[in-house]
């Protein structure tokens, strides 16, 4: 087995040391460019010290960009493209070797010189098309910049030029394959690199039955590749160019290994230094290493959204408020807000994990922080599910 580079198989100590040096450089660059963005008194002696720095959310990034267009004062360099995502938020893009870090994923899938990748991600305004094209170039593959739609033309092109690999959303490959069968055209696609949608087991099996190996990666417009599957297909291996933390939703506090929380990513790309950028996605770290030999940590993949903001009795309740409630009471380990329904009216129950205590004693604190009155229940430590939910909506809208 060959690897994309030696970084994939380094020891945990070597990875920590290498990434710590890169992290310090990133933080120094941001501090120099943005006053008061990152506290000066935080000294990074280990990667664990990242938790002492603030989390950057998309809402804050959008506000920065309005104040200092186009990139909000972040020290960006080597820009070849500027992309737009909903918000709007503007992202820089580069064209240097493996700038978006997709090469590692495509290499794991077996794509390389001699392959022709039919890239069915969009090329207009958003960066997905260029992200995958840059990755294909990094592994020496040729690219058909197909974009989306015009399926009959896509089938014809794939047959004419001998496309061997597909890049795009998981479901659009089936559209192409079904259209090819309808047209009586035989395609030579044997590899599929997918992202941007759910890859259901039945769909993956359908592709396997057609002789196509289909693997997925987890990438975003802001960060590029975050994690990816290898042929072992046991979780998603975190890319070597990022540091991933799993934190309690609404906070920047890391959760214990294996627990579900929000994915927070620090990019080690010096061209676009994003420090503790909150993705808004939920995931969890898997124990051990991948059987494929890559030694970085693995995550389970996408497990839902961390922004569980819910309107109850006409008021929004946010994960940040639940975190603030817990912070008020040292004896409370965690909290869960449950939205329910009693006839035509909303109800709110707040469950607090603590070693005993009078529920009524927390009523004023709940009302002050959440801005609503609630039924308070004190539950024993460890009894609340470790599923990443801090606000659970049990209301039925049928």
C-alpha angle 143-3-168 in degrees, rounded to nearest 5: 30
The pLDDT score that the predictor gives to residue 302 is: 86
The first and second tokens of residue 13, run together, are: 């100590």
18: left (phi over 0), alpha (psi -120 to 50) or beta: alpha
pLDDT of 305 reads: 83
What's residue 398's pLDDT? 59
SS (H, E, C) 211-261: CCEEEEEEEECCCEEEEECCCCCCCEEECCCEEEEEECCCCCCECCCCCCE
Give the Cβ contact number of residue 342 at 10 Å: 7
Q: How far is CA 244 from CA 166, 262, 377, in A?
A: 28, 10, 34
pTM of the model: 0.86
CA–CA separation, 106 and 252 (whole Å)? 32
Helix and strand totals (H; E) in the chain: 9, 20
Q: Answer left, alpha or beta for residue 288, where phi above 0 means left and psi between -120 and 50 means alpha.
A: left
DSSP assignment, residue 272?
S
Alpha carbon distance 356, 364 (integer Å): 18
Residues in the chain: 398
Handedness of CA 7, 13, 17, 22 (dihedral sign): positive
Please tell me the predicted confidence (pLDDT) of residue 356: 84
Q: Hunting for tokens 């039945």 — which residue is that?
A: 202
User: Tokens representing 59?
Assistant: 């809402």
End-to-end CA distance of the chain: 53
* Rounded distance between C-alpha atoms, residue 244 and residue 265, angstroms: 5
Closest by Cα among 124, 125, 213, 142 to 173: 213
The position carrying tokens 């998309």 is 58
According to DSSP, the β-strands at 277-283 and 142-145 are unpaired
CA distances to 47, 133, 270, 301, 339 from 43, rounded to whole Å, are 11, 38, 19, 31, 41
Q: Which residue has the tokens 């009795």?
A: 313
Give the pLDDT confidence score for residue 397 in this predicted structure.
Answer: 61
- The pLDDT assigned to 153 comes to 96
Q: Can you tell me whether residue 56 is helix, strand or coil?
A: strand
Secondary structure (DSSP) of 189-218: --EEEE-SS---HHHHHHHHHTT-EEEEEE
Task: List per-block mean pLDDT (blocks of 10 residues) for the chain, which spans 398 residues.
Answer: 93 97 96 88 95 93 94 95 91 96 98 97 92 98 94 97 96 94 97 92 95 97 96 97 94 91 96 95 95 97 85 87 92 93 88 91 93 93 90 81
Q: What φ, ψ does residue 64 adopt, rounded to 5°?
A: -60, -40
User: Tell me, what DSSP letter sits at residue 278?
Assistant: E
């Amino acid at each position: 087995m060959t690897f994309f580079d030696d970084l994939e198989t380094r020891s945990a100590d070597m990875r920590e040391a290498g990434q710590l040096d890169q992290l310090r450089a990133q933080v120094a660059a941001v501090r120099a460019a943005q006053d008061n963005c990152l506290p000066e008194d935080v000294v990074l002696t280990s990667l664990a010290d990242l938790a002492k720095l603030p989390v950057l959310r998309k809402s804050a990034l959008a506000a920065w960009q309005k104040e200092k267009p186009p990139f909000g004062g972040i020290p960006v360099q080597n820009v070849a493209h500027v992309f737009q995502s909903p918000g709007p938020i503007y992202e820089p893009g580069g064209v240097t070797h493996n700038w978006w870090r997709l090469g590692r994923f495509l290499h794991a899938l077996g794509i390389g010189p001699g392959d022709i990748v039919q890239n069915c991600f969009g090329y207009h305004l958003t960066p997905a098309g260029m992200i995958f094209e840059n990755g294909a170039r990094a592994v020496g593959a040729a690219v058909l910049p197909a974009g989306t739609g015009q399926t009959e033309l896509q089938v014809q092109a794939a047959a004419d030029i001998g496309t061997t690999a597909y890049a795009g959303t998981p479901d659009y490959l089936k559209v192409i394959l079904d259209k090819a069968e309808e047209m009586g055209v035989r395609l030579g696609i044997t590899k599929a690199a997918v992202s941007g949608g759910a890859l259901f087991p039945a769909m993956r099996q359908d592709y396997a039955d057609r002789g196509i190996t289909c693997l997925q990666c987890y990438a975003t417009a802001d960060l590029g590749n975050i994690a990816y599957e290898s042929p072992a297909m046991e979780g998603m291996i975190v890319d070597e160019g990022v540091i991933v933390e799993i934190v309690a939703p609404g906070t920047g506090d890391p959760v214990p290994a294996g627990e579900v929380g929000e994915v927070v990513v620090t990019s080690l790309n010096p061209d676009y230094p994003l420090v503790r950028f909150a993705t808004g996605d939920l995931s969890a770290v898997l124990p051990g290493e991948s059987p494929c030999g890559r030694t970085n940590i693995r995550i389970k993949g996408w497990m839902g959204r961390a922004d569980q903001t819910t309107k109850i009795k006409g008021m929004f309740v946010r994960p940040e408020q639940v975190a603030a409630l817990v912070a008020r009471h040292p004896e409370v380990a965690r909290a869960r807000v449950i939205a329910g329904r009693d006839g035509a009216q909303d109800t709110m129950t707040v469950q607090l994990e603590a070693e005993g205590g009078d529920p009524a004693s927390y009523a004023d604190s709940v009302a002050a922080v959440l801005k609503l009155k609630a039924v308070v229940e004190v539950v024993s430590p460890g009894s609340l599910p470790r599923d990443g939910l801090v606000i659970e909506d049990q209301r039925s809208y049928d």
